[in-house]
């Protein structure tokens, strides 16, 4: 069987491969899926990829499978580990951090000002995939970024560095790292002027550098034996998909609840009214990652936040049964009671991550009196709420979970309106379509229309084809 495009999602524990056909036609088709344990820690990721391909053949009932393009997203081998270093935390550091998160990075360290001895030691222990260095508006402060560059260059790490700070430092920064034998990429300043963010160029370069260097990660050296297209960090792929959807349908927020983390991606300019009282700028495309909110690996963190007694009350049961469900918790719930338990966990994860992602109104007091201001990301113009990840695509009450989260605010939060339309990634292919959008944006959007069950001629056509 011939497949136009295969996309592998190489996770820490599982590798999933999705197949798509009719990519150049008006109605692209999701052909099927295969999965297998990820083999990155066995020293060769291709073992898991090959097994996932065999699984796909079995599910499709074919003996042979060929393809034109093979793309991938990856969060294996720790994903994209980064450290971020800037000047002032609420300015250049924040801008650099937003760029890294939006690219799909797993940020292990953030520093502001001159690097201290303890911070230098920690960078060596982390051994990141990429180091992002920023600092100073254009034609502003120069010394901190140069000092930090010299310190990092002396660490002897074989790590690429991206510099996205004061443009006056570009030549000197390049010379510092080139003399140290380190690969350096110079990008436009992420914070060129006060209250101005410019993070898109840095995001793009982070993903390009990741794709170039991911094959050097343990177990990933042979990935190019099978993959002949783009490789993107999995969270970055979800952001790419969200941005493509924004261009087509309007302001949106995407919830991705997983076993280890809960990611929130919003793409919106917000309202003009709120922008006039916003204290500091926010990126149009923003990602937050809650590393403590996962419905399997970090399940006990959510239980602690919600409380066993409250979980029992919501499930109309005893604390004893809840304790039993905790002890017997599995990555994929098997019976109705386990699903109810995971639904409580998922709702808490969504409510908490939404609260952390969204901005709030607050009162600012000065000699002129009280003034209402807004701080953080404005989600009030959101038209669509996209649900992806295992929990929000498979649980029976996934729509009710989102509705309850929207209603959980206390009045000061800049939440989406409760009439925002909730869309489910029914095929659970959003990350795959994100990396596909780099090469086939129209096909990726068509497939998203189908998965989200948006009204389209292709949705009806594919439904008729399946029924036939």
Question: Tell me: the pLDDT tens digits for 235-250?
Answer: 999 999 999 999 999 9
Hey, how many other C-beta atoms are within 10 angstroms of the C-beta on 69?
18
125 and 7 fall within a common domain: no
Q: If you ran DSSP here, which 8-state letter would residue 18 be given?
A: E
Q: Are 270 and 380 members of one domain?
A: yes
My answer on whether 305 and 163 are in the same domain is: no
- Is the pLDDT assigned to residue 47 strictly greater than 80? yes
pLDDT given at position 211: 87
Whether 244 is in a domain gets the answer no
Distance CA 151, CA 116 (A): 10
CATH number at residue 335: 3.30.420
Q: Is residue 242 part of a domain?
A: no
Of 158, 86, 156, the residue nearest 115 (C-alpha): 86
Span 372-400, average pLDDT: 96
Are residues 261 and 375 both part of a single domain?
yes
pLDDT digits (tens, 9 = 90+) for 184-239: 999 999 999 999 999 999 999 999 998 888 877 777 878 888 899 999 999 999 99
Whether residues 114 and 67 share a domain: the answer is no
**What does the pLDDT look like over 91-108, one tens digit per residue?**
999 999 999 999 999 899
Predicted confidence (pLDDT) at residue 366 exceeds the cutoff of 80: no
CATH (domain of 18): 3.30.420.40
Mean pLDDT calculated for residue range 24-46: 88
pLDDT at 150 over 90: yes
Q: Do residue 55 and residue 153 come from a single domain? A: no
Residue 439 lies in a domain: no
Q: In what helix (H) or strand (E) does residue 267 lie, and over which residues does it extend?
A: strand 262-267
Give per-residue pLDDT as tens, 387-430: 999 899 999 999 999 999 999 998 899 999 999 999 999 999 99
Domains in the chain: how many in total?
3
Rg (CA), the chain: 23
| 390 and 451 assigned to the same domain | no
d(CA 306, CA 220): 39
152-171 confidence digits (pLDDT tens): 999 999 999 999 999 999 99
Q: Of 10-19, 363-372, 453-462, which range is least confident?
A: 453-462
Is 254 within a domain? Answer: yes
Considering the domain architecture, whether residues 361 and 290 belong to the same structural domain is answered as yes
Instruction: Give pLDDT, residue 364.
Output: 86
pLDDT at position 299 over 60: yes
| Average pLDDT across the chain, whole number | 93
Q: Are residues 263 and 399 in the same domain?
A: yes
Q: What is the pLDDT of residue 460?
A: 55
What integer pLDDT is reported at residue 461 of this predicted model? 57
Residue 22 has pLDDT above 50, yes or no: yes
* Res. 175: pLDDT tops 70: yes
Q: Which two tokens stand for residue 171?
A: 């030549």
Edge-to-edge strands of the sheet including 2-10?
A: 29-37, 14-21, 2-10, 66-74, 231-233
What is the band of 468 on the pLDDT scale with cuts at 50, 70, 90? Answer: very low
- For residue 86, the domain's CATH number is 3.40.50.360
| Same domain? 12 vs 96 | no
Residue 243 lies in a domain: no
Quick one: tokens of 151? 């310190």
Q: What are the respective helix, strand and coil percentages of the chain, to the nearest 5?
A: 45, 25, 35
Range of the domain at 126: 81-206
Q: Smallest Cα–Cα separation from 385: which of 294, 268, 465?
A: 268
Report which of residues 132 and 212 the model is more confident about: 132
In this prediction, residues 3-12 reach a mean pLDDT of 92
What is the reported pTM?
A: 0.90
Q: Is 438 within the bounds of a domain?
A: no
If asked whether residues 411 and 320 sit together in one domain, one would say yes
Same domain, 165 and 130: yes
The model's confidence at residue 14, banded by pLDDT at 50, 70 and 90, is: confident
């Amino acid at each position: 069987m011939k497949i136009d495009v295969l996309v592998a999602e190489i996770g820490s524990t599982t590798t999933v491969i999705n197949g798509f056909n009719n990519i150049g036609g008006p109605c692209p088709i999701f052909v099927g899926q295969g999965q297998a344990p990820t083999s990155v820690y066995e020293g060769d990721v291709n073992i898991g990829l090959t097994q996932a391909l065999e699984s796909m053949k079995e599910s499709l009932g074919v003996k042979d499978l060929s393809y034109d393009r093979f793309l991938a997203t990856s969060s294996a081998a720790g994903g994209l580990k980064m450290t971020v270093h800037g000047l002032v935390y609420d300015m250049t550091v924040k801008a650099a951090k937003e760029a890294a998160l939006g690219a799909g990075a797993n940020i292990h360290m953030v520093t502001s000002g001159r690097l201290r001895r303890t911070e230098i030691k920690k960078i060596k222990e982390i051994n990141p995939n990429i180091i992002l260095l920023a600092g100073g508006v254009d034609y502003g402060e120069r010394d901190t970024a140069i000092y930090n560059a010299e310190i990092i260059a002396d660490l002897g790490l074989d790590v690429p560095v991206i510099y996205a700070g004061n443009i006056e430092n570009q030549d000197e920064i390049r010379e510092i790292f080139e003399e140290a034998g380190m690969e350096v990429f110079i990008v436009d300043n992420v914070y060129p002027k006060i209250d101005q963010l410019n993070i898109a160029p840095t995001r793009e370069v982070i993903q390009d550098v990741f794709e170039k260097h991911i094959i050097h990660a343990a177990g990933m050296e042979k990935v190019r034996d099978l993959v002949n297209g783009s490789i993107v960090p999995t969270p970055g792929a979800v952001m790419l998909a969200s941005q493509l959807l924004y261009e087509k349908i309007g302001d949106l927020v995407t919830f991705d609840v997983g076993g280890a983390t809960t990611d929130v991606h919003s793409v919106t300019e917000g309202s003009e009214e709120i922008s006039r009282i916003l204290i500091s700028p926010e990126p149009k495309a923003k990602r937050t990652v809650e590393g403590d909110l996962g419905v399997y690996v970090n399940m006990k963190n959510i239980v602690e936040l919600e409380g066993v007694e409250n979980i029992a009350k919501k499930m109309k049961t005893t604390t004893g049964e809840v304790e039993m469900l905790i002890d017997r918790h599995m990555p994929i719930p098997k019976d109705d009671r386990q699903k109810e338990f995971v639904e409580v966990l998922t709702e808490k994860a969504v409510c908490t991550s939404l609260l952390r992602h969204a901005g709030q109104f607050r009162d600012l007091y000065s000699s002129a009196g009280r003034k209402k201001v807004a701080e953080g990301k404005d989600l009030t113009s959101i038209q669509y709420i996209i649900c992806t990840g295992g929990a929000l695509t498979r649980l029976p009450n996934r729509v009710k979970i989102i509705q309850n989260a929207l209603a959980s605010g206390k009045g000061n939060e800049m939440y989406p309106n409760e009439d925002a339309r909730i869309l489910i990634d029914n095929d659970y292919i959003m990350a795959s379509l994100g990396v596909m959008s780099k090469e086939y944006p129209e096909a990726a959007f068509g497939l998203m229309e189908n998965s989200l069950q948006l009204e389209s001629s292709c949705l009806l056509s594919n439904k008729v084809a399946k029924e036939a």
